[in-house]
Structure 1
Amino acid sequence: MFEYALHSLRHDELVARAEHERLAREANRLRRAARREAAARTAEAESHSHRRRRFARAA
């Protein structure tokens, strides 16, 4: 019975650790995605804000 209790505790510990690591990976993935999106928005805003028109607009 003692071995079963130790096995059960170890199993629960491993499940909790795996869940924590999965959540950490997901948080890192979301942070990277947010950084990429922010960088894309910044680059897009900068590229369009300094653009000059080559020709006058037609009326």
Structure 2
Amino acid sequence: MFHYELHQLRSAELGRRAEQDRLVREALGARRAARRSAGGRAAEAEPHTHGPHRRRFTRAA
């Protein structure tokens, strides 16, 4: 009987973990979708002149 109870506890824990993983994937997907929809409009409206890849000096020959 002890092994059966351990199996039930483990099964319930795996179910909770799977549900949590699904929620995380769902949240990440929603965040990516929001970034994609907002990112297209933001890229057109604001030039990227203050980013980390901005050149401060001209390139040497």
Shift of 1:42: 2.1
Identity of aligned residues (%): 60
Larger CA Rg, structure 1 vs 2: 1
Map Cα deviations across residues 23-48 of structure 1 (whole Å, 9 max, x no partner): 0000000000001111122235x2xx
Amino acid at match of 2:40: A
Rounded to whole Å, the distance in 2 between the matches of 1:43 and 1:14 is: 42
**RMSD of aligned C-alpha atoms?**
1.0
TM-score with structure 1 setting the length: 0.70
Q: Which amino acid aligns with 2:15?
A: V
Letter in 2 for 1:19: E
Alignment-mate amino acid for residue 4 of structure 1: Y
In the TM superposition, residue 4 of structure 1 has moved relative to its aligned partner by 0.4
| Counterpart in the other structure of 2:2 | 2
Consecutive unaligned residues of structure 2, counting only runs of 5 or more, are: 46-61
Aligned to 2:21: 21
Query: 1-side partners of 2:11 and 2:25: how far apart?
Result: 21
Structure 1 residue ranges without an equivalent (≥5): 47-59
Tell me which residue corresponds to 2:57: none
